[in-house]
Amino acid sequence: MKSSHLTLGEFIIENQKHYKSTTGEFTRLISSIKLAAKVVNYKVNKAGLVNILGEAGFTNIQGEHQQKLDIYANKVFMETLINREIVCGIASEEEDEFITIKGKHETNENKYVVLMDPLDGSSNIDVNVSVGTIFSIYRRVTPIGTPVDEMDFLQRGNQQVAAGYVVYGTSTMLVLTSGNGVNGFTLNPAIGSFYLSHPNMKFPKNGKIYSINEGNYVHFPQGVKDYLKYCQEEKEDRPYTSRYIGSLVSDFHRNMIKGGIYIYPTSTKNPKGKLRLLYECNPMAFLAEQANGSASDGYQRILNIKPTELHQRVPFFCGSKKMVLKAEEFMAKYPEDAKYNEEELAEKK
């Protein structure tokens, strides 16, 4: 069967020998995420025609102003996962605490938990720029049949069973890894199915794009400033091109296809970084590594960091291997800038 004719469901079935987690429960879980993504995609494409643009008038646990679509997307993914009774717990960037899901008989025999950013880059909706959904799947570590605990969610990223994102752009794509490479599926809106369109996606080992909000340059640590100067130097293979959308999913997706690095460092405004480890960095780091890329906090592998809280923030350097390695070389010259995570660094020593 040609890849362009292979649906997401068929792909999982045909490749289940490579996927340790491809059980009926796991397949239903991916199917639910796929369904919720189609519902959100429909609403995103109606932005401007219905009252879904702008702020909702609320702030989330991080103190960020929630957009109407933030709340809508969170509701859709939550309800889809809860109503189908296929997970035992959910943690969302838009929720203060994790959600425990009870079964019909007050117990839950399911073994997976989901962590998600329901609508990454939602502030871009008002100006018709691509946004996305990010999700991460783990096996629970507490006994099956008991209520989930915080420890089920505070697992290192290297324990992820699967991760992916949906990018709502000129076409809607679901990009997925289950530990055996990365594959992209494009939605055919006429029939509502995701078809394999980008098999075996890979980061080029090197690239010529750097993605960072240079408007915050004066607030960046010196290692980042030095790396940016390196990117802008007139050399045989430089300067690099600056491309920054402000939506992690969109920037990551472009850089994976064309080659590049995405950076959201610490700063004097955000001394621990801004991106969330559990909802954004871990799933994107898993995807990056499975696509022959790399992801770091500037000093250590993202997937090795032990989370200490649900909404923990970390700096993020992610993309083509050689570019991330070069950025780490500049950061290593300023070890004092690693203080944002002193406990983790001390533990590794």
The reported pLDDT for the residue numbered 22 is: 53
Query: Considering only CA atoms, which of 265, 181, 276, 168 is closest in space to residue 226?
Result: 265
Give me 196's structure tokens. 């394999």
Report CA-CA distances (Å) from 165 to 182, 252, 325, 337. Answer: 11, 10, 24, 30
Contact 308, 154 (CB under 8 A): yes
Which residues in the chain are classed under CATH 3.30.540.10? 3-198
Let me know the angle formed at the C-alpha of 85 by 79 and 90, rounded to the nearest 5 degrees: 60
Mean predicted confidence (pLDDT) in 54-81? 73
Please tell me the distance from the alpha carbon of residue 202 to that of residue 248, in angstroms, as a whole number. 17
Query: 3-198 maps to which CATH number?
Result: 3.30.540.10
pTM of the complete model:
0.91
Which architecture characterizes domain 209-342 according to CATH? 3-Layer(aba) Sandwich (3.40)
Residue pair 32/81 in contact (Cβ under 8 Å)? The answer is yes
Alpha-carbon gap, residue 264 to 107, rounded angstroms: 41
The answer on pLDDT for 210 being more than 60 is: yes
**Residue 343, pLDDT above cutoff 80:** no
Query: Nearest 5°: phi and psi at 275?
Result: -75, 145
**Intervals of CATH 3.40.190.80 along the chain:** 209-342
Question: Assign residue 139 a region: left if phi > 0, alpha if psi is -120 to 50, beta otherwise?
Answer: beta
105-115: per-residue pLDDT in tens? Answer: 556 688 999 99
Q: What is the pLDDT of residues 220-261, one digit of tens each?
A: 999 999 999 999 999 999 999 999 999 999 999 999 999 999
